[in-house]
Amino acid sequence: MSDVATLLKRIDDEGIRNVDFCFTDPRGKWHHLTYHVSAVDAELFADGVMFDGSSIAGWKDISESDMLLNPRPDTAAMDPFSELPTLMLVCDASFATTMTPASSAIKLSI
């Protein structure tokens, strides 16, 4: 059984209602997108979760804002503060048009 298949089984077995796709922006601030489990399947893990990068400080402007979250099943953890059973997944962000990791665009000056 793949990691994704195991995770989908866990979602079903534990009655999880929501999945939080979590990521950080270039400044280290946490963000998340919450999906109801009815929208979470193996295809979502293969294709990723689209989001608008222009709404995140430090990434893209509106003309090139398509970004993608790639969930990492090995990071799955239950949200201890959510009223409904919610599974959190850390995601790697990438630019949808080039599939390059968003972290490659971050230039740090020390």
Give 38-96 as a DSSP string: GG--HHHHHH-EEEEGGGSTTS--GGG-EEEEEE-GGG-EE-TT-SS-EEEEEEEEEET
16-25 pLDDT, tens digit per residue, is 999 999 998 8
Question: Hey, what are 85's tokens?
Answer: 């059973």
* Extents of the domains making up the chain: 3-96
> pTM of the predicted model, to two decimals?
0.84
Q: Report the alpha-carbon distance of residue 11 to residue 70 in Å, rounded.
A: 18
* Average pLDDT across the chain, whole number: 86
CATH number of 3-96: 3.10.20.70
69-101 pLDDT, tens digit per residue, is 999 999 999 999 999 999 999 999 888 878 777
Are 89 and 72 spatial neighbours (Cβ–Cβ below 8 Å)? Answer: yes
